[in-house]
Amino acid sequence: MKEHKRYLDPEVLARLSRLDLKARLIVEGFLSGLHASPYKGFSQEFADYRQYMPGDEPKRIDWKVFGRRDRLYVKEYQEETNLRAYLLLDKSGSMQYGGTLNKLEYAKYLTASLAYLLFKQKDSVGIATFDTTINEIILPSSKRVNFMRILETIENSRPGGETSLSNVLSELAQKMKRRGLVILISDLFDEPERVITSLRSFRCRKHEVLVFQILDEDEYKFPFGESALFRDLEDDTEMVINPKVIRESYRKKFTELLNYYRQRLLESYVDHEIIFTNTSYDKALSSYLQKRGRLF
């Protein structure tokens, strides 16, 4: 168990090369820590019996057991839903920021893990990668082939240009005809108002939305020392900045930005989780499962 758990550490995971392996290790490492199966619910796969209680639907009574035991029991099935999950992976330039494990790498592992988790759950899972525009899109399916294509897409994702999150999300919202769970993995470095508006458009189409905001700790703490030439990863603009001078102000503004997202997404019934690249993957996966638990 311990062996599996350690793969939840991003740094350890980074040393592995195969993405499917990584995803599997993350998910299984995560699942091994849970006491009960998270998959209970409606499914065709039998799970357990329990005594009939008033209120249970009579059609769920197993009459064969009644014949053998002369007691009323109802069947419980392992969950198997028709959940359609859309994984939206932001691979804009700003996502390549980070040390040994940059934000995009982290996001890719997280996306793969979620895909694996969904696949294991027999849910339909699709993916869309984007930067300024949508780069690739795979429609949701629960087939293994689809899952492999998703992994391949994630693996091949390279950092792109400038973020145009709001436009991309609006476009994706148009394309997703059937309602489902939209999981956005991005740093949300775009105009906050427009991002919020775009996410609301998902909600308007009855989608459930879960946002993982991937950040590097340095982006929050701004720990740089002496004056340096800062180069924007998205548009290559340069600026000489003395971090000491602007640190306080920067942190204040950044906190305000995060608070703004938190507040406005809460108001829009969008789950929002800030994930730093040095934190374990189980936090993100827990958030997903909680969200799913609330849905079914």
Binding site for another protein (CB under 8 A): 93-95, 97, 103, 163, 187, 189, 216, 219, 224, 226-234, 237-242, 245-246, 249-250, 253-254, 257
CB of 156 to another protein, least distance (A): 22
Q: What does the chain come to in residues?
A: 296
- Report the alpha-carbon angle 175-177-182, nearest 5: 75
Q: Rank residues 16 and 257 by Cβ distance to another protein and give the closer one.
A: 257
Structure tokens belonging to residue 288:
């997903």
> CB 159 → another protein: shortest distance, Å?
11
CB atoms within 10 A of CB 108: 25
Least distance (Å) from another protein to the CB of residue 168? 16
| Residue whose C-alpha is closest to residue 251's, from 225, 219, 213, 227 | 219
Pick the closer one to another protein by CB: 16 or 228.
228
CB of 253 to another protein, least distance (A): 4
Please, which residue, 34 or 228, has the CB nearer to another protein? Answer: 228
Query: Is the distance from CB of 211 to CB of 271 less than 8 angstroms?
Result: yes
Residue number, 84 or 103, with CB nearest to another protein? 103
Q: Which residue in the block uniquely carries the two structure tokens 């065709």?
A: 44
Q: Between 14 and 233, whose beta carbon lies closer to another protein? A: 233
Nearer to another protein, 145 or 229 (CB): 229
Contact between 133 and 164 (Cβ < 8 Å): yes
Helices 103-120/144-155 angle, 10° precision: 180
How many Cα atoms occupy the beta-carbon half-sphere of 251 within 13 Å?
12
> Please, what is the minimum distance in Å from the beta carbon of residue 155 to another protein?
22
CB of 188 to another protein, least distance (A): 11
Q: Answer yes or no: are the C-beta atoms of 268 and 195 closer than 8 Å.
A: no
Measured between alpha carbons, how far is 6 from 63 in angstroms, rounded to an integer?
Answer: 46
Query: How far apart (Å, rounded) are the C-alpha atoms in residues 172 and 129?
Result: 10
Residues 125 and 292: their CA atoms lie apart, in Å, by 14
Q: How far is the CB of 90 from another protein (least distance, A)?
A: 12
**Three-class secondary structure of residue 10 per DSSP:** helix
Q: Which is nearer to another protein, 99 or 293 (CB)?
A: 99
Distance in angstroms (rounded) separating the CA atoms of residues 17 and 271: 31
- Residue 111 C-beta: closest distance to another protein, Å: 19
Is the CB of 85 or the CB of 215 nearer to another protein?
Answer: 215
